[in-house]
Amino acid sequence: MEFRPCIDIHNGKVKQIVGGSLRDQGDQAQENFVSQQDGAFFAKLYQNYGLKGGHIILLNSVDSPWYKDTKEQAVKALAAYPGGMQIGGGIREDNALEFLRAGASHVIVTSYVFQDGMIHYERLEKLKKTTGKEHLVLDLSCRRQGEDYYIVTDRWQKFTEEKLSEELLDRLSGYADEFLVHAVDVEGKAQGIEKELARLLGNWGKIPVTYAGGVGSFEDLRELKSLGQNRLHVTIGSALDLFGGGMAFEKVLKFV
């Protein structure tokens, strides 16, 4: 298990939000924390600790009046830590190289590939050709319906018809260097992980997978390490003291 840091940017500010509360209409979100520091500050911090593989997420749609400010923050963070962080949010075939050239190690893609409820493999092929598999991360963030988890898109607002399974992970692993999976129903709540999701991802474990969502204590980290068979990397947002939470950043680094 590795700790993978995050920089979530919404309306031009570094924030931690409740994932399921995000709405494009009015650029609304339930906020847990709004930082007085910018994205470059956190990128430099992560660089100083030698942390790689973290992600910067643009939480505004490209149509939002806030997108320009959010993108500006993100690009400054990439410049502050060249090659150290991944970036996602509105990534498409036609802008992926822009972000890689700006300093991203990988681009993270969801909605461009998962549209109209299904996977568009021709878009995946184009992305892979454009960026190279080694620079592509697929965001398989999901929400529960019944007993299963289904991939969600458009800043976690829309369900697809794609059920997260080992078979799907097998198919998609041919296109991506890593997977990023937010457990959206518990994202930003710091009240415990999605145990069945962690077990599913840990059982598979064929390429690097970063789990995000619900970690609020060191007991949650122990549980994630066990259920994930020590194969999953972890992101902690709202529970981290950097973002107003109670889990000490340096203690988390020592734990993982």
Q: pLDDT value at position 189?
A: 81
- According to the model, what pLDDT value does residue 188 have? 76
Beta carbons of 45 and 52 less than 8 angstroms apart? no
The string of pLDDT tens digits covering residues 36-85 is: 999 999 999 999 999 999 999 999 989 999 999 999 999 999 999 999 99
pLDDT, tens digit (0-9, with 9 covering 90-100), for 197-233: 999 999 999 999 999 999 999 999 999 999 999 999 9
pLDDT at residue 174 greater than cutoff 90: yes
Its pTM stands at: 0.93
Q: Which pLDDT belongs to residue 29?
A: 74
Which of 7-16, 21-30, 64-73 has the least mean pLDDT? Answer: 21-30
Local structure of residue 239 (DSSP, 8 states): T
Considering only CA atoms, which of 242, 236, 201 is closest in space to residue 221?
A: 236
At residue 22 the predicted structure's pLDDT band, cuts being 50, 70 and 90, is low
Average pLDDT, the chain: 94
Q: How many CB atoms lie within 10 A of CB 35?
A: 18
CA pair distance 66, 47, nearest whole angstrom: 27
- Provide the percentage of residues in the chain whose pLDDT is more than 90: 84
